[in-house]
Amino acid sequence: MSESTKSNHTSFLEYKGKYRGILGWILSTDHKRIGLLYLYTMLVFFSVAAILGLLMKIQLIAPGHTIMGPATYNAMFTMHGIIMIFIIVVPGLPAVFGNFFLPLMIGAKDVAFPKLNLASWWIYVIGILIVLTSQFLGDGPPDTGWTFYAPYSFQTPANIVPALVGAFVLGFSSILTGINFVVTIHRLRTPGMTWFKMPLFPWTLYATAWIQILATPVIGITLLLTVMERTLGVGIFDPALGGDPILYQHLFWIYSHPAVYIMILPGLGVISEIIPVFSRKRIFGYKAIVLSSLAIAFVGYFVWGHHMFTSGMSGRALFAFSFLTFLVAIPSAVKVFNWVATMYKGSLIFQTPFFWAVSFIFVFMIGGFSGLTLGSLATNVHLHDTHFVVAHFHFIVFGGTGFSFLAAIHYWFPKMFGRMFDASWANIGWVVFFAGFLTLYLPMFSLGIMGMPRRYYDYLPEFHAANILSSLGAMLMIAGAMIIIVNLVRSARYGKKTNEKNPWGGKTLEWQADTPPTLENWEEIPEVTEKPYEY
Amino acid sequence: MEKNAEHTHVHRDDEGDKLGMWLFIFTELLLFGMLFLIYAVYRYRNPVAFQLGGEEVDVFIGTLNTVLLLVSSATVAMSISAIQKGLKKHALVFLGITLLIALVFLVNKYFEWGAKIEYGFYPGGEALLELGHGTILFFGLYYVMTGIHALHILIGIGLFIYVFQQIRADKIHSTDYIWLENTGLYWHLVDIIWIFLFPLFYLIH
Amino acid sequence: MSQEKSHISSYQSHVFVLLALLALTAISVAVTTLELGRLDTLVAMLIAATKAAIVLVWFMHLKFDNKLYAIFTVLVLVVFLLVLYVTFFDYSYR
Ligand SMILES: [Cu+2]
C-alpha cells in the first residue's frame, strides 16, 4: 500500500509480521489470513475431488467398462465423498467466510481464541494428510463409501484405518472452530450490537457452531470405535460378536444428519445477507429467519433415522423419523418464503452475487422437495439407494453449500482482495455452471425413479440415454467451474484495484471496514445502534 | 523484539475462556454420552449377560477408585479456593494431592486390567471369545469406556503438571487463575463420567 | 472470575460436598447388596445422577457462576436424553 506507511493502515494481505513470506501466512493468527488459508486448501482439494467426480461420470457415459472397473470405481466414489464431505463442505463456509467475516460483521478485532484458530487449520491439514495416506499405503484405497458402514468397513482388506483416523482429526478441527465462534459471538460483539441486531450470517454461524460442538463428537467416537473394531475386535458393531451393525448406522447419522445442517445453515445465512442488499430492501421477517435457524439446529438433531428406512428398524421408529423429518422442512421453508418476500417490490440489482443467490433458492427448493419425497416412507422404499438419492443429495449439498459458497465469494471478493472480479466472465461462468449443474443432476432423478441403483460402475442398457445427458452435464459444469475459478484467481491477482469500502451498498458492519481490511480491522471499534438491513 | 508482532492488543477475557471450556465439556459429554447410549442398547438386548458380567468385575478396586476420584475433585476445588484467597502454598499442596490421586487411580486401573488380561479376558482374548455374545459386548464396552476415561485421566495429569509449574512460577495467582479454574472444570467432568461408569460396570447386577 | 468479583467457596463447604458424595457412594454400594432386581438399575442411576448434579452445582460452580452455563448444561442434557429416547423408538419395538 503506497498511501500509508503506518502499520495499522496496511491491509492484512501485505502486513509484515514476525514471519515473512509463506511463514507469515501459515503461522499467522489473523482470522482473515486463516480464512484464506482454508480457502486455498479447499480449492486444491475441491479440484481433486471434482476430477474424481468427472471421471466417474465419464465411466457412466456408457454401460460396462468404459475407463475403469468396479474396484477403481468404488475407490473413486469413496474418495470423492470423503474429500467433498469431510474436507470441503463440512468446514466449508464457516472455516472460510466465518473466519474472515464473523469478526468483521460483529465489529471485533479477531475471533476469541486466535491461536486456537490457527491450531484448527493445522489440525485440519494434518487430518487431510492422514486421509491421503489411505490412498498410498496398505492394501489399496478405501472402498466403503464415505459412510464407512459396518460391518464392511472392518471386513474389507482396503486401507480404512487412516481414512477413519483422518476424518476423526478433521472433526476435531471442526469442534475447535465451533467453540471459537460461539465464544466470539457471546463475548466480542461490538457495544450496541444486541443479539437481535446481529446480522444473519453470524446468527447462522452461531447455530452451526452449536451443531459442530454437539454433533461432531458423535462421529468422533463412532469412527474411533470402528478403528478399534478393525484393530482389536471389540465386537461393538460386529454381528459375529454380538454387535449390532444398525447401531453403527444410528450413530453415524446422529452426526451426519446434523452435519448436513453444518453444511447448509451458513449458506442460508449468506443468502440472507445477499438478498436484502441486492433488493435494496429490509429483510423480511428477520426474527423468523433467526428462530428458524435455531429450530433447524435443534430439530435437525432428531431426524437421522430417515437415512435408515430400509435398514430393518422398528415400525414405530420409521413413523417417528418420517414425522420429524417433515417437521424439519418447515423452518427451511420459512426462510425461502422470507427471501422471496424480501425481493417482492424491491429494486433488484442484477449482479453476479444476486444471480448466485437466486439460483441457490431454485436448486435448494428442488433439493428440499426431493428430500420430502425421500422422507415419506412409501416412496423412500422405492427410491432408497437409487440415483434419486444422489440427485437429491447433490441438489442440497452441492446446490446448497456450493452455490452459496460461490455467492459468498463473489459478494465478498472485493472486500477480501481489494480488487474487483471481472463481472462478465463471472456471469458467463454462472450461466455455464448452472446449466451444467441442472443437466448433470436432473436426469438422475428420473434414473432413480426408473430404478437405477447408485454406487455401481455399470448399468442396464435402458438407462443409457439419461446417463449420456448427465455425463455431458458434468463436463459442462466442470467447464463452468473452470471459468469461475480461473476468473477469480486471475482477478485476485490482476483485477481492478479498489479501495471502495462498500461496493454493493451493504448495511452490515464489514462494509464499514477498510478494503481490504487492516490487520486489526478497525482503528476504532464501530458502534451499532440500529438493526441490520435498514434500507 | 516483540513476541507476537501481529497481535499487539493484549486481550484477556477470563469469562470467555471459561465459556470455551464449558463448550469443550459439552463436546466431551456428547462423546461419552454416545458410549452410554451404546451401553444402554446392549444392556437392553442382553440383560442376563450384562448382569453376569457385572459380577466378574472387581467391586473393591472400583469403589476405591470412586472414592479417590471424589476426593481429588474436592482437592482441586479447594486448590481454586486457595488461589483465589492468594494462598499459593495451599494451592500447591491441594493440587499436588490431586495429581497424586490421579496417578494412584491409574496404578489401580493397571492392576485391575492386568488381572483380567492375564486370564484372557480382553477383546479378542481366548477366554472371552468362548463366552456368549452379551459377555463379549459387556467386556468390549468395559475396556473401551474405562479405557477412554483413563486416557482423560492421563490428559488431566498433564494439565495438573503444567498448572502446578505455572503456580510455582507465579504465572497463576490470585488475580489470574483461569488455567487452574478450567483444569478444575475438566477434572470434574472426568469425575462425573466415572460417577456413571462406576454403577454401570461395577455395581448393578 | 478473576477479572470481576467472584464467589469464593470455603474449604469447609468443599469438605461438606465431598462427604455428601461419599455418603451417596456408600448408599449406592449398599443398595446393590440388597438384590432389588430390576429396581437395582434405577436406584443406581438415580444416585449417580444426584452425585453428578452435586458436582455440577457446587464443584463446577454452576450455582454461583453466570446462569448461562447452567442453562446450556441443561439444554445439552436435554438434547442427549432426547437422542437416547428417539434411539429406543427403534430398539424397544424391534
Ligand atoms: Cu438427513
**Interval A21-38: pLDDT, tens:** 888 899 999 999 999 999
A173 falls within a domain:
yes
pLDDT digits over A337-390, tens only?
999 999 999 999 999 999 999 999 999 999 999 999 999 999 999 999 999 999
Residue A5, pLDDT above cutoff 50: no
pLDDT computed for residue A110 by the predictor: 94
Contact criterion met (CB < 8 Å) for A317 and C90: yes
pLDDT at C5: 59
Phi/psi for A453 (5° steps) reads -70, 155
Please identify which residue in the block is written with the cell numbers 454416545: B34
Give the type of residue at B196.
Answer: F
Which amino acid is located at C39 in the chain?
Answer: L
Residues of B within 8 A of C93 (CB-CB) are: none
What is the pTM assigned to this prediction?
0.94
Residue C5: inside a domain: no
Q: Residue A14 domain-assigned?
A: no
Domain boundaries, chain B: 14-203
The pLDDT tens digits of the residues spanning A152-198 come to 999 999 999 999 999 999 999 999 999 999 999 999 999 999 999 99
Q: Would an 8 Å CB–CB cutoff place C81 in contact with chain A?
A: no
| pLDDT number for residue C85 | 96
Buried-exposed string A290-300: b where 16+ CB fall within 10 A, e elsewhere: bebbbbbbbbb
A486 assigned to some structural domain: yes
State in Å: Cα A388 to ligand 1 middle: 14
The answer for residues whose C-beta is within 8 angstroms of residue A412's C-beta and 6 or more apart is: A97, A100, A101, A510
pLDDT at A7 over 80: no
Q: Mean pLDDT in chain B?
A: 92
A122 located within any domain: yes
Asked whether residue A2 carries a pLDDT value surpassing 50, the answer given is: no
- Model confidence pLDDT, tens digit, residues A476-525: 999 999 999 999 999 999 999 998 999 999 999 999 999 899 988 998 88
pLDDT at A3: 38
Domain count, chain A: 1
Residue of A nearest to C76 (CA): A214
**pLDDT tens across the length of chain B (205 residues):** 233 334 444 578 999 999 999 999 999 999 999 999 999 999 999 999 998 888 888 899 999 999 999 999 999 999 999 999 999 999 999 999 999 999 999 999 999 999 999 988 888 888 888 888 999 999 999 999 999 999 999 999 999 999 999 999 999 999 999 999 999 999 999 999 999 999 999 988 7
User: Looking at the domain assignment, is residue A302 inside a domain?
Assistant: yes
CA of B58 to the centre of ligand 1 (A): 43
| Interface with C, mutate which of B27, B172, B204 (most C CBs under 10 A) | B204
A3-17, A160-174, C47-61: segment of lowest average pLDDT: A3-17
Query: What are the tens digits of pLDDT across the range B162-194?
Result: 999 999 999 999 999 999 999 999 999 999 999
Q: Quote the CA–CA distance of A257 and A269 in Å, as a whole number.
A: 19
* Banded model confidence at residue C4, pLDDT cuts 50, 70, 90: low
Q: Are B68 and B104 in contact (CB under 8 A)?
A: yes
Tell me what pLDDT residue B4 has.
39
Put simply, the answer to whether C79 touches A214 (Cβ < 8 Å) is yes
Q: Which residues of A touch B140 (CB under 8 A)?
A: 234-236, 241, 243
How far is the C-alpha of B90 from the C-alpha of B112, rounded, in Å? 33
Chain C: touching chains (3 or more CB pairs < 8 Å): A, B
ipTM, interface predicted TM-score of the complex: 0.94
- Of A443, A526, A417, which is closest to residue A35 (Cα–Cα)? A417
Q: Is residue A254 part of a domain?
A: yes
Domain membership flag for residue C6: no
How many domains does chain C contain in total? 1
Instruction: Tell me if residue A386 falls in helix, strand or coil.
Output: strand
Given a cut of 50, whether residue C1 has pLDDT beyond it is no
> If you average pLDDT over every residue of chain C, what do you get?
91
Determine, for residues B31 and A186 on separate chains, whether the beta-carbon distance falls below 8 Å: no
What pLDDT is stored for residue A529 in this prediction?
A: 84
Task: Say which amino acid occupies B191.
Answer: D
Q: Distance between CA atoms of A88 and A313, rounded to whole angstroms?
A: 32
Instruction: Give the domain CATH number at A454.
Output: 1.20.210.10
pLDDT digit string (tens) for A39-91?
999 999 999 999 999 999 999 999 999 999 999 999 999 999 999 999 999 99
**How crowded is residue A256: how many other Cβ atoms within 10 Å of its Cβ?**
21
Give C84 to chain B, closest Cα distance, Å.
Answer: 6
A452-455: long-range contacts, CB 8 A cutoff, minimum separation 24:
A452/A386, A452/A387, A453/A385, A453/A386, A453/A387, A454/A385, A454/A386, A454/A387, A454/A389, A454/A390, A455/A74, A455/A77, A455/A145, A455/A385
What confidence score (pLDDT) does residue A13 get? 87
Q: What is the pLDDT of residue B56?
A: 85
C18 touching B, CB under 8 A?
yes
The domain B14-203 having CATH identifier 1.20.120.80: the answer here is yes
Q: In which domain, by residue range, is C42 found?
A: 11-92
Structural domain span for residue A54: 28-512
